[in-house]
Structure 1
Amino acid sequence: MKRRAKPLLGTLVEIAFDAELPDEEVNRLSALAFQSIHDIHQLMSFHEPESDLTRLNLAKPGQWVSVDIHTLKVLSCALQIERDSQGLFNAGVAPLLVKSGLLPAPCETVPGATGLADMIELNGKTVRKMAEGWIDLGGIAKGYAVDMACARLLDNGARRFVVNAGGDLRVNGIADFEATIRDPDNPGRGVLRVSLNEEALATSACYFSDALIDPHSGKSLSSRYSVSVSAPTCMIADALTKIVACTGQIDHPILNQYMAKALIV
């Protein structure tokens, strides 16, 4: 396969194409996909001062904020998974990540962590801030960025490719594609290969950071295992890894609900 890579989303994003594609077409398609990922980052980054997310975090209770349709889709999915998981997935834990030094504070006063459903209300392309709080979409937006890169590639004629953003990946048009899972005790070494068919795979682990938070206890997850989830979309797979990481259950009921499967290494 022919590969192109670029640093985005705080990781290295790699796109692999059918080896039969001319180099000019590979360059054109990869540029479009990388641009899609960049655009999603600009909209939903906790770090970007002009992002939709930053404007939401700085909004006061009662204030309405206009957001991009992509931001709205991710917020809607995050709300649904929060409800379906009874709060095990919660994009409202950003204050805990700030207090742990894992995220920069948008302003001096740090609010308490709260459920996303208690913090915002969606209406059309606007979001109403209902309570003080900060949102971090790092647990779901990277997967969505991968999905949007895939959609851009399909819209522009690509049929056989893999988009991989630091372990969050999606496969299109390639049967029995083998993805490698890192060894949690030695992240530079692959320990397991997983076969994928027209699906996505996301992996969450603590070997590179402690940015996984249990929303119920408010504590960082410090386990040495990694969690991988395969699902129809990378956004869903990305979010569900956090639920499996919190519970340690590879048979958690929410997996069937979202047509997903999990493994722990």
Structure 2
Amino acid sequence: MGTSWSLQAVSPPAATAHGVQAALDIVVEQMSQWETESDLSRFNRAEPGLWHAVPGELAHVVEAALAIARASDGAFDAGLGRLTDAWGFGSGGPVGHVPDIAGDATNRTIDFDPATRSVRRSHAAALDLSGIAKGYGVDLAAEWLLDTGVRHFLLEVGGELRGEGIRPDGQPWWVDVEMPPTSSVPPWRIALHDLSVATSGNYRRGFDVGGRRYSHSFDPKTGRPIVSNVSSVTVLHRACVMADGWATALTVLGPQAAVALADAQGLAACIVAGDREFISRAWREMLG
């Protein structure tokens, strides 16, 4: 995944680190754009328009991604792989220039059949789960920990976190939300008790051409990097896969639209745009 992971746990067994790494390795083996023999990479090389059976973990993430896509009216798009590659944010590496590529969303579709656990893509689409797979990796490793009897832990993978139970001193797992470096908004401190948190930072990756900054966050409707002033979105959810995916989707929208959608979906979300902060109803209720 190109990142690190860390775990704080109460009385973990000796093989805990190996188990967590094994769970994360499953995500890489199935969903990595950078591993040429991952299930995702092989699916993207296979003939479009045909159904292809995929492993259970990959099927679960595709189903979650498509559910968020439907609920967000396309703000999340699991078929952006060709566009992210063309703009230098995929497996091909940086390009440093604005590509000459059409962003027609009507020809870019990913379909999933839950009965057969199969996926198909249109010719213009390539599966890209970088906006949700890391959160699923947190969940997969967390569920392994719970299954082995570890009940109290804080697991972090590349800035996405899930806290279960409490610390040995009886306190919840407290974490601070990182704010964009250009913003004066003070950071939130969150108690992760059986809860996950994910932050999508629009300032983290991108490149500059002709005095303009191009972000790695894409608007699926235009097929281009987003132009809103949203710099980061943080979402709290029981499942880290949903927190991760929804943070990605809300980043695409402007702050008012993102809060409205978060309220409609009952999501606890905090959107930072410049030096302004917009919080959803569920986030506000958690403050009480």
Q: Secondary structure at the match of 2:30?
A: helix
Q: Show the counterpart of 1:262.
A: 269
Partners of 2:164 and 2:192 within 8 A in 1: no
Find the aligned partners of 2:251 and 2:124 in 1 and give their Cα distance: 27
Contact kept, 8 Å, 2:27 with 2:57, in 1: the verdict is yes
RMSD: 2.6
1:131 and 1:30, CA in 2 relative to 1: closer, same or farther beyond 3 A?
A: same
Aligned to 1:32: 19
Matches for 1:239-254 after TM superposition, within 5 Å? 239-247=245-253, 248-249=255-256, 251-254=259-262
TM-score, L = length of structure 2: 0.77
Tell me which residue corresponds to 1:238.
244
Structure-1-length-normalised TM-score: 0.83
Gaps of 5+ in 2: 94-100, 206-214, 273-288
Aligned equivalent of 1:70, options 44, 57, 70? 57
Q: How many residues align?
A: 246
> Are the equivalent residues in 1 in contact too, given 2:107–2:124 (CA < 8 A)?
no
Residue by residue over 1:117-171, the C-alpha shift from the partner in whole angstroms, topping out at 9 and shown as x without a partner, is 8333424132233444211100011101100000000111100001111211111
Q: Which amino acid aligns with 1:30?
A: A
**Aligned-partner SS, 2:7:** strand
Contact kept? 1:203, 1:229, Cα under 8 Å: yes
Q: Quote how far apart the aligned CAs of 1:183 are.
A: 2.9
* Corresponding residue to 1:149 among 123, 141, 147: 141
Q: What is the CA-CA distance between 1:194 and the residue it aligns to?
A: 1.9
Residues 60 and 132, structure 1, Cα contact 8 Å, conserved in 2: no
Residues 135 and 244 of structure 2 are in contact (CA less than 8 Å); yes or no, is this contact kept in structure 1?
A: yes
Contact 2:79 2:109 in 1 (8 A): no
How far residue 56 of structure 1 moved from its aligned partner, in angstroms, is: 1.6
What is the rounded CA distance, in whole Å, between the counterparts of 1:15 and 1:116 in structure 2? Answer: 42
Q: 1:1-265 alignment to 2 at 5 Å?
A: 9-18=1-10, 21=11, 25=13, 27-105=14-92, 114=105, 118-122=109-113, 123-174=115-166, 176-185=172-181, 191-209=187-205, 210-221=215-226, 223=229, 225-247=231-253, 248-249=255-256, 251-254=259-262, 256-257=264-265, 259-265=266-272
CA contact (8 A) 2:107 2:122 kept: no
Secondary structure of 2:78's match?
Answer: coil
Q: 1:53 to 1:112 in 2, by over 3 A?
A: farther
| CA deviation map 1:195-237 (0-9, x unaligned) | 2221100001123203211112322236472211001100000
- AA partner of residue 178 (structure 1): W
Q: Secondary structure at the match of 2:4?
A: strand
Amino acid paired to 1:205: G
Deviation (angstroms), 1:177: 2.2
Structure 1 contact 17–161 (Cα < 8 Å) conserved = yes
Note the C-alpha offset of 1:77.
Answer: 1.0
Q: 1:154 to 1:115 in 2, by over 3 A?
A: farther
**Alpha-carbon separation, structure 2, partners of 1:35 and 1:201:** 22
Corresponding residue number in structure 2 for 1:6: none
Q: Quick check: 2:180–2:203 contact (8 Å CA) kept in 1?
A: yes
Deviates more, 1:66-75 or 1:168-177: 168-177
SS in 2 for 1:87: coil
For 1:116 and 1:161, the matched residues in 2 are separated by 44
Residue 46 of structure 2 aligns to which amino acid in structure 1? A
| 1:105 shift after superposition | 5.0
Q: Is the 8 A contact 2:174 2:191 kept in 1?
A: yes
**Matching residue's letter, 2:73:** Q
CA distance in 2, matches of 1:62, 1:217: 23
Q: Look up the equivalent residue of 2:158 and give its one-letter code.
A: G
